[in-house]
């Protein structure tokens, strides 16, 4: 078994134009002051990193690493959640997702997809330059508008969609393999990969690619009423990243999983700061330790009530207290009698 690394923090929800959240150097100093040991970097935010430059220049990547290390931190992983989303977009969502793309690709879905795919390839090389072995992303979605179908889905629609999704991702996965980095999909509502079944369908289409791995975030499973603890039993060999994020699901006689088009604070299912929701993190940390998870525990703050700075401060301590320093010996070693093959045979009457 391996002791989980952490606590770490995903910077995406904290970056802003106000100090200390407006530069990689200052936000790292802030995070270190709260007790974090690592940072997960959003690659779409130029205040943190120039992704293309990090892919093309080992010297620049070393400079980024040096900024983080100067604060006493490590880079845990890079993230391309927004770019990954753009690898596969149904036309119904074009206008909404164009905001994630460069201005010169907006209104041109083909150009936007090509840009996104190149971004992922840059991320693979940048991860290699930074010495990282895992990377976070979204799968994008061609099918989400049919998740609860009416009228019914035409026969073969799901097969066609997953074939196309795999066609787009397989070359990316091969680049990540060349760079020695696992590509970890965050299983998330709104993505074609949103539960275990959809992930398995994707794995089949990419020929069980060894780099098609998972970012585990139990909050998204609470909101789907999915057994997030048994999920670890099924997929622990593929779980290479861990977002520590809390959530609660409180259905009423008026709304449930779909939320009635309400704001986050008024939904039955909503994300909360660590310790304020319903996720059984003691069991999760125990399972991951028992399955020898070797990655980081990374706080992702998304709460509709608590201030983010309070969520970060409390979250660092919460993760620290939940990380299990694994044992190197069995609790009953003191009662061991010692043995050899002849003694074992004698016990068995052989």
CB hemisphere CA count around 3 (13 angstroms): 13
Task: Check residue 338 and give its pLDDT.
Answer: 73
pLDDT band at 125 (very low <50, low <70, confident <90, very high): very high
Per-residue tokens: 175: 């680049």
Placement of tokens 């998870």 in the chain: 293
Say if pTM beats, i.e. exceeds, 0.85: yes
Residue 330 has pLDDT above 80, yes or no: no
Residue with tokens 């200052």: 26
Sequence ranges of the domains in the chain: 5-347
pLDDT at res. 329: 80
Q: CB under 8 Å to 202, separation ≥6 — which residues?
A: 139, 162, 165, 166, 169, 185, 192, 193, 212
Q: CA-CA distance, 116 to 81, in Å (whole number)?
A: 10
Grade residue 343 by pLDDT with cuts at 50, 70 and 90: confident
What is the tens place of the pLDDT at every residue in 135-153?
Answer: 999 999 999 999 999 999 9
Q: Residue 114 above 80 pLDDT?
A: yes
Both tokens of residue 63?
A: 């400079």
Q: What does the DSSP 8-state code read for residue 4?
A: P
Is the predicted pLDDT of residue 332 greater than 90, yes or no? no
Q: How far apart are alpha carbons 141 and 87 in whole angstroms?
A: 8
Query: How does pLDDT run across 294-315, given as a tens digit for each residue?
Result: 999 999 999 999 999 999 999 9
Span 259-280, average pLDDT: 97
Exposure string of 51-80, with b = 16+ CB inside 10 Å and e = fewer, is bbebbeeeebbeebbebbeebebbbbbbbb
The whole-angstrom separation of Cα 225 and Cα 223 is: 6
pLDDT bracket for residue 183 (50, 70, 90) = very high
Q: What percent of the chain has a predicted confidence (pLDDT) above 70?
A: 99
At residue 167, does pLDDT exceed 90? yes
pLDDT at 270: 97
Region 263-272: mean pLDDT is: 97
Residue 154 predicted with pLDDT over 80: yes
pLDDT average, residue stretch 194-223 = 98
pLDDT band at 281, cuts 50/70/90?
Answer: very high
Query: What is the rounded CA–CA span in Å between residue 254 and residue 200?
Result: 33
Mean pLDDT of the 98-119 span: 97
Listed residue (120, 118, 80) closest to 100, CA to CA = 80
Distance CA 68, CA 39 (A): 8
Confidence of residue 337 (pLDDT cuts 50, 70, 90): confident
User: Residue 240 — pLDDT band, cuts 50, 70, 90?
Assistant: very high
User: Does domain 5-347 match CATH 3.40.50.2000?
Assistant: no
- Map 97-108 to HEC letters: HHHHCCHHHCCC
E-strand stretches of the chain: 5-10, 38-42, 74-80, 134-137, 182-186, 212-216, 239-244, 246-249, 269-272, 296-299
Length of the chain equals 350
Q: Are 28 and 71 in contact (CB under 8 A)?
A: yes
Whether 334 has a pLDDT exceeding 70, the answer reads: no
And the tokens for 238? 């593929």
Dig out the tokens for 236 from the structure.
């622990």
**What mean pLDDT value characterizes the chain?**
97
**CA dist list (Å): 123 to 8, 63, 84, 85, 93:** 20, 16, 11, 14, 24
Q: Across residues 122-136, what is the average pLDDT?
A: 98
DSSP codes, 183-252: EEEE--TTSS--SHHHHHHHHHHTTT-TTEEEEE-THHHHTTT--HHHHHHHHTTTEEEEEE-EEEE---
pLDDT tens profile 12-22: 999 999 999 99
116 C-beta neighbours (distance < 10 Å), count: 27
Residue 333 pLDDT exceeds 90: no
Q: What is the pLDDT of residues 57-103, one digit of tens each?
A: 999 999 999 999 999 999 999 999 999 999 999 999 999 999 999 99
Rounded Cα–Cα distance for residues 320 and 314 (Å)? 10
Is residue 328 over pLDDT 90? Answer: no
């Amino acid at each position: 078994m391996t002791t989980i690394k952490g606590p770490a923090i995903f910077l995406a929800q904290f970056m802003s134009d106000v100090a200390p959240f407006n530069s990689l150097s200052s936000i790292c100093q802030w995070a270190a002051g709260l007790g974090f040991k690592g940072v997960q970097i959003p690659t779409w935010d130029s205040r943190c990193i120039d992704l293309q430059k990090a892919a093309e220049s080992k010297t620049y990547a070393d400079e980024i690493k040096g900024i983080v290390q100067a604060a006493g931190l490590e880079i845990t992983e890079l993230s391309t959640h927004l770019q990954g989303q753009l690898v596969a977009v149904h036309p119904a969502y074009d206008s909404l997702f164009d905001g994630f793309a460069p201005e010169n690709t907006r209104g041109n879905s083909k150009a936007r997809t090509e840009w996104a795919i190149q971004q992922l390839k840059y991320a693979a090389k940048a991860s290699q330059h930074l010495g990282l072995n895992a990377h976070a992303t979204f799968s994008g979605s061609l099918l989400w508008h049919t998740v609860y179908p009416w009228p019914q889905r035409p026969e073969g629609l799901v097969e066609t969609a997953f074939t196309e999704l795999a066609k787009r991702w397989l070359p990316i996965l091969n680049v990540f393999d060349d760079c020695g980095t696992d590509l970890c999909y965050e299983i998330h509502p709104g993505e074609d990969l949103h539960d275990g079944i959809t992930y398995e369908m994707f794995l089949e289409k990419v020929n069980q690619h060894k780099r098609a791995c998972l970012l585990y975030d139990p909050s998204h499973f609470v909101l789907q009423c999915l057994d997030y603890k048994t999920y670890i039993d099924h997929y622990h060999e593929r779980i290479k990243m861990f977002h520590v994020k809390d959530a609660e699901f409180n259905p009423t006689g008026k709304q449930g999983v779909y939320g009635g088009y309400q704001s986050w604070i008024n939904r039955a299912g909503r994300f909360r700061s660590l310790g304020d929701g319903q996720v059984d993190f003691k069991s999760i940390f125990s399972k991951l330790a028992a399955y020898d998870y070797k990655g980081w525990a990374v706080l992702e703050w998304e709460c509709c009530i608590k201030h983010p700075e309070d969520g970060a401060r409390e979250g660092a301590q919460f993760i620290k207290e939940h990380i299990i320093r694994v044992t190197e010996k069995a609790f009953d070693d003191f009662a061991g009698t010692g043995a050899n093959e002849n003694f074992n045979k004698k016990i068995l009457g052989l």
